Amino acid sequence: MARFLIVEARFYGHLNDMLVAGAGAAFKAAGHEYEVMVVPGALEIPGAISLASEGDRFDGFVAIGVVIRGETYHFEIVAGESARGIMALTMDGIPVGNGILTVENEAQALVRADPSQGNKGGDAAKAAMALLTIKEQYA
């Protein structure tokens, strides 16, 4: 049994609830445990994962959040930099599943977040579990 940390940027609560539910169900189905940590926004997710990975409490991580395009350049910064931060963590050998949705509108986010439709939270949890398996096989 492995232990995972879901790091959630709680900006769109109703969408995050679905993403976390999907991730949690995937972990439970695989017999793993998980906790949820809330951070202010998607840009804080990689930093929180980095800090939490310094100990041996967690075997892997899932990033959960929703970034919806607005009228300013902010979307590109948040979407790109949060993804870059998560990729840097995985390149350092930390198993992280990226469940941060980057979408044009809330309707797109709803379809992707809903566990009975897109289930991107569940997909992110499965990615984290797969990376942990690879890490364990090749460590």
Q: What is the DSSP letter of 32?
A: -
96 three-state secondary structure: strand
54 annotated ligand binder: no
Q: Is 14 marked active-site?
A: no
66 annotated ligand binder: yes
79 annotated ligand binder: no
38 annotated ligand binder: no
Specify the amino acid at residue 102. T
104 annotated ligand binder: no
Distance between CA atoms of 55 and 114, rounded to whole angstroms?
32
Cβ neighbours of residue 109 under 8 Å, at least 6 residues apart? Answer: 12, 15, 66, 68, 101, 103
Q: For residues 24, 27, 33 and 35, what is the CA-based torsion angle, rounded to 10 degrees? A: -30
Check 28, 57, 74, 84 and give the catalytic one.
74
33 annotated ligand binder: no
User: Which of 132, 68, 129 lies closest to 100 in space, CA to CA?
Assistant: 68
72 annotated ligand binder: yes
112 annotated ligand binder: yes
Residues acting as catalytic residues: 74
List residues forming the annotated binding site: 11, 42-44, 66-68, 71-72, 98, 112
Residues contributing to the annotated binding site for (2S)-2-hydroxy-3-oxobutyl phosphate = 71-72, 112
Give binding residues for 5-amino-6-(D-ribitylamino)uracil as ranges: 11, 42-44, 66-68, 98
